[in-house]
Structure 1
Amino acid sequence: MVSMQKPAALPKNPNFSSGPCSKRPGWSFEALKDAPLGRSHRAKIGKTKLKLAIDLTREVLQVPADYRIGIVPASDTGAVEMAMWSMLGARPVDALAWESFGEGWVTDIVKQLKLKDTRVLKAGYGEIPDLASVNFDHDVIFTWNGTTSGVRVPNGDWIAADRKGLTIADATSAAFAQKLDWPKLDVVTFSWQKALGGEGGHGVLILSPRAVERLETYSPPWPLPKIFRMTKGGKLIEGIFQGETINTPSMLCVEDYIDALQWAKNIGGLDAMISRADANAKVLADWVAKSAWAGFLAKDEAIRSNTSVCLKVTDPAVAALPPDAQAAFAKKLVALVEKEKAGYDLGAYRDAPAGLRIWCGATVESADVAALTHWLDWAFATAKAELAAA
Structure 2
Amino acid sequence: MVVKWILRVFAILVILLTLFPYLSFNQWYVRIWDFPHLQIALLTLFAIALYFIKFNLKSKSDYAVVLALTGCFLFQSVKIYPYTAFADKEMGNASANVTTSLSVYAANVLQKNKKVEAVVKDVSKYQSDVVLLTETNERWKNAVVNKLEAAYKHSFLVPKENTYGMLLFSKYPLYETKVKYLVEDTIPSIHTKVIIDTKDTIQLFAIHPAPPTPQHNPSSVDRDAEMMKITQLTRETEYPVIVLGDFNDVAWSETTALFQRVSGLLDMRKGRGFFNTYNANSWLMRWPLDHVFTSADFRVMQIERGADIGSDHYPFYAKLSLEPKLAEEQKLPPPSKEEVAKAFEQISEKETSQTAGH
Q: TM-score, normalised by structure 2?
A: 0.33
Identify the structure with bigger relative contact order (alpha carbons < 8 Å, sequence gap 6+).
1
TM-score by length of 1: 0.31
